[in-house]
Structure 1
């Protein structure tokens, strides 16, 4: 199976207003009709097949063959946590400073503003974790002046979804994280 985007998906990716989380958006971008499910699983992770099925059912992807589950990796199963009510287990999302950095680099590239270009360069040149966190902080502080408040808040929320807890605490101390 080689899933590809529908017009609904193209509109959702362009408008940034669809009810998609960052991982779903990333998967939509990668679904170009050239990659099969095994390649997508290698890029996204073991939950890619379930996400593809969900996006097909939502009308964001189409495929010529029915979705097949990807083979389970031989490595350890993903970490799980139970819901507060003792319900079904929920898969934890992986957090990564690299993912946060790449996401914000992409956002800054889209801004077409000299200040965004300077922030992009600073974030690209950051080598240590502290430099990266500092560049993330500077970018988040400048973003409200470069784009709409709603877009800025969505970027902030998605960034905080992937940022490791320790680095999120650093931004919280700097006053970037609200509440």
Structure 2
């Protein structure tokens, strides 16, 4: 995808770089706009951005701490509040699994996640979902990387992961 092709294709990239060091927060670029630390809308836990698919504009962002507090219910409500024909971008920072409850897992699975039940303490996880329509078959939607002291170069913190690609301009 080239930036000049935005009339036909919508560039999409998720880039959660937190694994390089604990203080680095996840970031997402959509139409070259940053959703992340600079806009103050990410923190420890599961970070979610809801985007209007027709316009590419951010509808809402929220982060849900899954290490402290009972935030699974509010996260489930946030996911369910996303309007039809929207994209949901989800990415973890630090811990996204310790207090992740069944209702939230089911809500994320309903959007097509195959990895939400595989998430462990400090797993890097990124997920792109479409609500109210289907994304084309060839689009990469989800990645997970687990914390492993023996394999990861960042003292047990998993390496950064990224989902990127192009999706058609209008929902199918």
Larger Rg: 1
* Larger strand fraction of residues: 2
Greater helix fraction, Structure 1 or Structure 2: 1
Q: Which structure has the higher relative contact order (CA within 8 Å, separation 6+)?
A: 2
TM range (shorter): under 0.3
